[in-house]
Amino acid sequence: MLSRDDGLANGGLQEPTTSLDPADWPAARRQAHAMLDWLLDDLQQAASGDGPVWRPMPPDVRAAFDAALPVEPAPIETVADDVRALVAPYATGNRHPRFFGWVHGAGSFAGMLGEMLAAGLNMNCGGRDHAGIEVERQIARWMADFFGFPADASGLFVTGTSMANFLAVLAARRAALGPAVRTDGVGDGGGLVAYASAAAHGCIARAMDMAGLGTDALRLLPVRLDGSVVAGAVAEAVAHDRAAGRRPFLVVGTAGTVDTGGIDDLSALADIAAGADAWFHVDGAFGALAVLSPSLAPLLAGIERADSVGFDFHKWGQVPYDAGFLLTRSAAAQRAAFESDNAYLRRNARGLAGGSPWPCDYGPDLSRGARALKTWVTLRTYGLDGIGAAIEQTCRLARVLQSHIEANDALELLAPVTLNIVCFRPRPRAEEDIDALVDAVVVALHESGVAVPSVTRLPAGLAIRCAIVNHRTTEADLRLLIAAVLAETSRLRSI
């Protein structure tokens, strides 16, 4: 076997190096261990619930990011110190047990280590024959089994469900219009129309826009108080469009609406899609993983009939950002929407260019990080039972919070609690601008660092929206939230 010394002689001269590897590996190892120890300390501190959930960046810290582009090198110790001083104290705060603002996963110890391993191995998971691809394929098989999909289903890691939903629209478009859409474009759109609830995530409309079909081709149908779509309204819209000569090509169900956590009647939507010969996609950004909970899985009946499901491991799955996933019933249909024949992607039966088809045949990305590895580490470390138990716990805590609100005359619940999202507000007083009060209370909570809920608009007005996603949250955290809301409400009303 050839060695690195078997190349051309250089006349005895020292070969110049531009390697970015450490010149002193023992010193680099000590620094790496120091950084890991600090990160573990920081994670432990955040997990304890001590300290603020979030803090605003002071002007001098924000000004530090106006520094000029670095040209000369700096010691890694200096860079690490800047991360500790300028970045870590002002992060999103979603590791903290009283972060309730949006459906952000809290991450986990195992996930953090999985991310570190993925970065160290630095695999490009766009394709070719290596273990990183097999890890992704294994997770796809696991998810197909769990969601009741056929064994030849395909799965693809993406940045998040917004991207997964976009890819599903493109796959549905190709299934409806055939291969010519990839060469000729959509033209007038072929009369294609899609259907989703008025509570569907905004990325569905954006996907229609980016797919060249336009947002006017998306019918947004009425929802019930719990946020679930009125299935009868979907059926009526489909029938009306067919009678008008349009072509229904996509029905989108939501498993966990962003506002209230509502779940559509997926079985009814599957029937409607089948009757119209349309693609049935489920946006399950966080709610789809309720299949991991025996007590919650029945809420998702019908999801096994979907043509595709998008969801995020970085939400309820507690994998570090980002780790979105698209599961598609027909691998052939997904491949037909994306695969291309390029000379530089020539496939072989053997060697590193083997292992076809590759992940890049199922989506647009050729350069892809090893999102699957940190997910694989997380799933194996905690097991589906462990993650399912954490999911059940967040939903149990949501019901606990609901009971606290209903037992307090100073508060009112604004929407049914289906999963882990609770929407409430101070009970309005006569002649009071309740929306302004809700906004002010939430901002005050953020700036105090006690808790971070968000706001959303419901039929009754602005609501304090509490999304319990963090596996570290306890009932004590909910009591602190309620006490803080009441205290800030009293303070603001007294001004």
Average confidence (pLDDT) over 354-373: 95
**Per-residue pLDDT reduced to its tens digit, 228-278:** 999 999 999 999 999 999 999 999 999 999 999 999 999 999 999 999 999
Task: Provide the pLDDT for residue 188.
Answer: 83
- Is the pLDDT confidence value at 7 over 80? no
- pLDDT value for 11: 58
Bridge-based pairing state of the strands 411-413 and 218-221? unpaired
Mean of per-residue pLDDT scores for the chain: 95
Task: Report pLDDT for 342.
Answer: 85
389-423 pLDDT, tens digit per residue, is: 999 999 999 999 999 999 999 999 999 999 999 99
pLDDT higher than 80, residue 6: no
What pLDDT score does 4 carry? 58
Residue 58 DSSP class: P
Name the strand (E) or helix (H) holding 383.
helix 371-406
Residue 15 has pLDDT above 80, yes or no: no
- Considering the segment(s) 28-54+92-107+384-495 as one domain, its CATH architecture is Alpha-Beta Complex (3.90)
Banded model confidence at residue 16, pLDDT cuts 50, 70, 90: confident
**Token pair for 394:** 């967040």
- Give the tokens for residue 438: 């809700």
pLDDT at 13: 66
Cβ–Cβ < 8 Å for 306, 317: no
Scanning the structure block, which residue is given the tokens 């609770």?
422
Look at residue 398 in the predicted model and tell me its pLDDT: 98
CATH fold of 123-339+349-369 reads Aspartate Aminotransferase; domain 2 (3.40.640)
Return the pLDDT at 162: 98
* pLDDT digits 0-9 by tens, 17-47: 789 999 999 999 999 999 999 999 999 999 9
Per-residue model confidence as pLDDT tens digits over 218-229: 999 999 999 999
Residue 247 makes CB contacts below 8 A (sequence gap 6+) with 176, 190, 191, 192, 193, 241
Question: Domain spans of the chain?
Answer: 28-54+92-107+384-495, 123-339+349-369
Q: What average pLDDT does range 382-393 have in this prediction?
A: 97
Residue among 223, 200, 265 nearest 459 (CA)? 223
- The pLDDT value recorded for residue 38 is 97
| 367 vs 253: CA distance, rounded Å | 30
Residue 62: is its pLDDT beyond 60? yes
Cα–Cα distances in Å, from 325 out to 163, 168, 381, 419, 482? 9, 11, 19, 21, 35
Residue 166 CA: distances (Å) to CA of 280, 349, 395 = 14, 32, 29
